[in-house]
Homo-oligomer: A and B are copies of this chain.
Amino acid sequence: MRIGELAERAGVSTRSLRYYEKQGMLTARRDANGYRVYDESDLELVREIRALLTVGFTLEDARPFVECLRAGNDTGDACPDSVAVYRRKLAEIDAEIRLLWQRRQRVAAQLTRACPGCVLRDFREG
């Protein structure tokens, strides 16, 4: 299939597919016209990438998963590098949540100080 069909089937823009290719996440054969040609495995690959991006992974984070799939595994997370990324991302997410929570506490404290009753009123209203 060509880039338009792959984009359609994977639910991404053609722009994104070319971007992924430029980042080395995707490779495409070319036909006589120079048009990119993809097969079913490329579709799976793009779907893997999208699934990871939607849970907050970066493209770089997704790289080991892509390489794992390319190596012939049926899932991208069948390789130790991918599992390591899972664990690292979990830690990152936890750190972010802690940071956000601290900020929340500080802002809530400021709000309470600036406008006593505001926070309490929130709880009663919502």
Binds B, one of A2-10, A34-42, A97-105: A97-105
Would A87 and B118 count as touching, CB distance under 8 A?
yes
Asked if residues A86 and B100 are in contact (CB atoms below 8 Å), the reply is no
Shortest C-beta distance, A5 to chain B (Å), equals 28
Whether A28 is near chain B, meaning CB under 8 Å from some CB there, is no
Q: Mark A46-65, 1 if CB is under 8 A from B, else 0.
A: 00000000011000000000
Closest to A104 in B: B93
Residues of chain B within 8 A (CB-CB) of A96 are 100
Give the secondary structure class of A's interface. helix
Determine if A86 and B107 form an interchain contact, defined as CB atoms under 8 angstroms apart. yes
Interface: A31 (CB within 8 A): no
Tell whether A1 is near chain B: CB-to-CB under 8 Å.
no
Counting CB contacts under 8 A, is A75 at the interface?
yes
| A residues with CB within 8 A of B | 55-56, 75, 77-78, 82-83, 86-87, 89-90, 93-94, 96-97, 100-101, 103-104, 106-108, 110-111, 113-115, 118, 122
